[in-house]
Amino acid sequence: MSPDDLDQIMEIEPVAFGSHHWSQTSFINELSNPSGYYFVVTDEATELLCGYSGFWLIGEEAHITTLAVRPDLRRRYLGELLLINDIERAQSVGASWLTLEVRVSNYVAQNLYFKYGFKNLGTRRKYYQDNDEDALVLWAENIRSDEYKKNITLRLEDLAAKMRVSDMGLIPTALSENVQNT
């Protein structure tokens, strides 16, 4: 993610997160945060920013702070691609576990996270300011273990096969080419 991406990110942010979303200034601050790692996935042909994600690395914990996809591009595995990228990047910078919060009503996101080994640790009451909705606190541990890495490799291969047959033309086997970081 770079400052040049922020105009397109600000088109997605309020739709994805409601009225209490991050501001452009928040993203600018995050891009200079030494603990922050932020990524985008773009359509290289059109230069359309399709989605973005990021995490903070605090000790051995990678806390996923944001993950969003353009509404018209959802259900095309881009969120999953971004999540895999976050996991692999977190592993590479020394994280041993991942955490995040997700709306209790966001079953689609929860199912994605559960597929990648996240477990529900509890609830943060009235976490979301736009409607006082609760958040589930999710946790994935031992992400540097051989077993976890093998699971990610298998999921990535499955995702690549799904995306090859989709109408997107975006193949995650070239993950580093499609997902760009700061």
Residues involved in catalysis: 101, 113
95, 143 contact by CB (below 8 A): yes
70: exposed, middle or buried (Cβ count in 10 Å: 0-12, 13-18, 19+): buried
Tokens of 159: 């995702």
With a CB cutoff of 8 Å and minimum separation 6, the contacts of 28 are 3, 6
